[in-house]
């Protein structure tokens, strides 16, 4: 009996030592079902392109005033033949350029991530920093760091890494 009483404070101390704070983002356990068959329009984007030494070499930001009609659209749809196959398309509504990929959800250190592997082989990992029925915010955690290009005064340049945030809106829930 006395051993149990002495062990209880020790167990409570060990449990309280987890210093990773939950950001408080209420992402449903069924986020797969929340994303699946759903279109998300980009409301705004902010990016910092960095050199190999970590210095910022270029910054860009864009707010899409008419995001329902003119923005970047992410369409999370399964393959109809294989519904467990998580497919995503990214449509640039300005150029009509579309890229395809697969997505999944992961949880690490009490944070939720959307991981997209594009058919080109590039991988983007986004931390979900806010989530409601109509809106979602992503922070770019990493890209595969190959061929990260940006345009500076019309000239295409390549950065070593990229950081940024993306604000999204789901029009089907208005």
pLDDT tens digits for the chain (174 residues)?
Answer: 555 554 445 443 444 444 434 444 455 554 555 566 688 999 999 999 999 898 999 999 999 999 988 999 999 876 665 666 788 999 999 999 999 999 888 888 888 888 999 998 888 899 988 887 788 899 998 766 566 888 899 999 999 888 899 999 988 766
What is the pTM for the complete model shown?
0.74
- Helix (H) or strand (E) run with residue 164 in it: strand 161-169
Q: Domain span at residue 126?
A: 42-173
Question: Per the domain annotation, does 163 fall within a domain?
Answer: yes
Question: Per the domain annotation, does 32 fall within a domain?
Answer: no
Q: CA 164 from chain center: how many Å?
A: 10
Question: Per the domain annotation, does 18 fall within a domain?
Answer: no
Question: Per the domain annotation, does 91 fall within a domain?
Answer: yes
CA 34 – CA 4 distance, rounded (Å): 45
Residue owning tokens 């149990």: 4
Residues 51/150, Cβ–Cβ less than 8 Å: no
Question: Per the domain annotation, does 9 fall within a domain?
Answer: no
CA 109 – CA 86 distance, rounded (Å): 24
Question: Per the domain annotation, does 54 fall within a domain?
Answer: yes
Q: How many domains does the chain have?
A: 1
Six-digit token string for 23: 């950001």
CA 170 – CA 174 distance, rounded (Å): 8
């Amino acid at each position: 009996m006395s051993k149990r009483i002495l062990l209880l404070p020790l167990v409570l101390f060990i449990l309280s030592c987890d210093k990773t704070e939950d950001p408080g983002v209420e992402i449903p356990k069924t986020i797969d079902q929340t994303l699946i068959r759903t279109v998300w329009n980009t409301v705004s984007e902010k990016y910092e392109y960095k050199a190999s030494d970590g210095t910022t070499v270029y910054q860009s930001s864009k707010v899409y005033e008419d995001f329902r009609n003119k923005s970047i659209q992410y369409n999370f749809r399964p393959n109809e033949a294989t519904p467990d196959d998580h497919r995503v398309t990214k449509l640039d509504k300005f150029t009509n350029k579309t890229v395809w990929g697969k997505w999944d959800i992961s949880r690490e250190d009490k944070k939720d991530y959307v991981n997209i592997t594009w058919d080109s082989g590039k991988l983007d990992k986004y931390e979900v920093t806010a989530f409601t029925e109509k809106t979602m915010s992503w922070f770019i955690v990493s890209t595969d760091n190959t061929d990260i290009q940006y345009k500076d005064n019309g000239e295409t340049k390549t950065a070593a890494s990229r950081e940024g945030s993306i604000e999204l809106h789901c029009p089907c829930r208005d």
